[in-house]
């Protein structure tokens, strides 16, 4: 058996049940340096506490193919056979922060699920995946990504029966996580700005919220559409990943098969070194439970509406 077949099941199942998987570094040190050097001027132009280089910026810097290497494409297409991008950007957060840079006002110290994910509770498979690559060293107090493997289902679970992980590592450190899992960025208390490359993807059959130009956070999604138009016709897998509906599915299948023959997917590393001990207070357990109830109810309502639309059509 090809070792890809073994790893495929490992990544799909482990990511579903553990919510987080560390993997071998995807980029060389020279590539990480190149990303940082080219991103730096764009970050420097911005004054917000959280600064972005979106997918169009990455394309205009000539970095798209350096980001989407055969190894990365192999990984993405192995986890989800018909993937489409949801995020593709780099961002930087300020140091000297006592709170998480996102969801820090939710009375859970920033712990949250990405509730923009329209998750199907009946599908027992990974549906929403994010890949993080640290572009700066992240140690204690540097805003390490943290995640809990509390499962999402029709019945909310408690934190006390779950495992927690904190991801510290040198620049180039790479890891996958389930976007519907409860996670947070720990406070970046130190002086160094934390910088990350983020790539999120899901199945083309997984629904997403309708894009609106009036919603500021949707701007990065529109940039994905712009980049899609610029990708050379010969790059079948990248065009498909960016959502080009004109690609021939047979050509995509052939390209995937060729990729599988020539490229091994990255190795999965042990989770044990990342596990930490976190205990939620009773009030935090209650808040987490109520938030899960709210999210689950939204998912159920969406599914009922979708079923009614299908029935009426």
Write the pLDDT tens digit of every residue in 269-299.
988 899 999 999 999 999 999 999 999 999 9
Please state the separation of Cα 82 from the chain's center in Å.
Answer: 16
All domains of the chain in start order, with CATH: 3-312 (2.60.120.620)
Report residue 164: phi and psi, to 5°: -120, 145
Residue 103 is predicted with a pLDDT of 82
Partners of 26 in beta bridges: none
CA distance 313 to 122: 22
Residue 143 is predicted with a pLDDT of 95
CA distance 34 to 162: 38
Instruction: List, as own/partner pairs, every contact residues 7-10 make where C-beta atoms lie below 8 angstroms and the sequence separation is at least 24, other chains included.
Output: 7/78, 7/265, 7/267, 7/268, 8/78, 8/265, 10/268
Lowest-confidence segment of 39-48, 56-65, 144-153, 207-216 by average pLDDT: 207-216
User: Which of 102, 79, 90, 100 lies closest to 134, judged by CA?
Assistant: 90
Q: Decide if 194 contacts 36 (C-beta within 8 A).
A: no
Share of the chain above pLDDT 70, in %: 97
Tracing tokens 């065009």 back to the chain, one arrives at 239
Residue 261 is predicted with a pLDDT of 84
- Crossing angle for the helix pair 249-262 and 70-79, nearest 10 degrees? 110
3-state secondary structure the chain: CCHHHHHHHHHHHHHHHHCEEEECCCCCHHHHHHHHHHHHHHHHCCCCCEEEECHHHHHHCCCHHHHCCHHHHHHHHHHCCCEEEEEEEEEEECCCCCCCCCCCCCCCCCCECCCCCCCCCCCCCCCEEEEEEECCCECCCCCCEEEECCCCCCCCCCHHHCCEEEECECCCCEEEEECCCCEEECCCCCCCCEEEEEEEEEECCCCCCCCCCCCHHHHHHHHHHHHHHHCCCCCHHHHHHCCCCCCCHHHHHHHHHHHHHHCCCCCECCCHHHEECCCCCHHHHHHHHHHHHHHHHHHHHHHHHHHHHHHHC
Q: How confident is the model at residue 5 (pLDDT cuts 50, 70, 90)?
A: very low
Please state the separation of Cα 150 from the chain's center in Å.
Answer: 17
User: Which of 71, 65, 51, 107 lies closest to 267, judged by CA?
Assistant: 71
Lowest-confidence segment of 10-14, 228-232, 258-262 by average pLDDT: 10-14
Q: How confident is the model at residue 262 (pLDDT cuts 50, 70, 90)?
A: confident
Share of the chain above pLDDT 90, in %: 81
CA distance 216 to 283: 33
CA distance 119 to 19: 14
Q: Decide if 227 contacts 59 (C-beta within 8 A).
A: yes
CA distance 56 to 59: 5
């Amino acid at each position: 058996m090809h070792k890809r077949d073994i790893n495929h099941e490992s990544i799909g199942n482990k990511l579903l049940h553990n919510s987080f998987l560390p993997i071998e570094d995807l980029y060389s040190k020279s590539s990480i340096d190149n990303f940082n050097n080219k991103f730096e001027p764009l970050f420097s132009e911005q004054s917000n506490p959280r600064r972005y280089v979106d997918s169009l910026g990455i394309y205009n810097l000539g970095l798209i193919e350096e980001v989407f290497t055969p190894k990365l494409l192999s990984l993405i297409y192995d986890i989800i056979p018909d993937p489409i991008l949801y995020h593709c950007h780099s961002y930087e957060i300020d140091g000297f922060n006592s709170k998480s840079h996102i969801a820090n006002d939710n009375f859970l110290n920033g712990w949250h699920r990405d509730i923009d994910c329209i998750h199907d509770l009946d599908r027992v498979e990974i549906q929403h995946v994010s890949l993080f690559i640290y572009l700066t060293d992240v140690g204690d107090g540097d805003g390490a990504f943290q995640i809990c493997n509390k499962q999402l289902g029709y019945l909310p679970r408690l934190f006390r029966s779950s495992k927690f992980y904190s991801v510290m590592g040198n620049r180039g450190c790479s890891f996958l996580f389930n976007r519907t899992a409860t996670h947070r960025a720990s406070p970046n208390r130190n002086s160094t700005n934390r910088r990350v490359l983020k790539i999120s993807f899901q199945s083309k059959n997984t629904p997403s919220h309708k894009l609106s130009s009036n919603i500021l956070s949707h701007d990065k999604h529109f940039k994905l559409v712009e980049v899609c138009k610029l990708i050379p016709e010969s790059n079948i897998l990248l065009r498909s990943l960016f959502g080009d509906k004109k690609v021939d599915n047979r050509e995509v299948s052939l390209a995937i098969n060729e990729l599988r023959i020539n490229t091994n997917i990255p190795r999965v590393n042990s989770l044990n070194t990342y596990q930490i001990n976190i205990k939620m207070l009773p009030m935090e357990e209650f808040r987490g439970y109520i938030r899960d109830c709210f999210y689950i109810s939204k998912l159920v309502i969406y599914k009922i509406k979708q079923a009614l639309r299908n029935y009426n059509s």
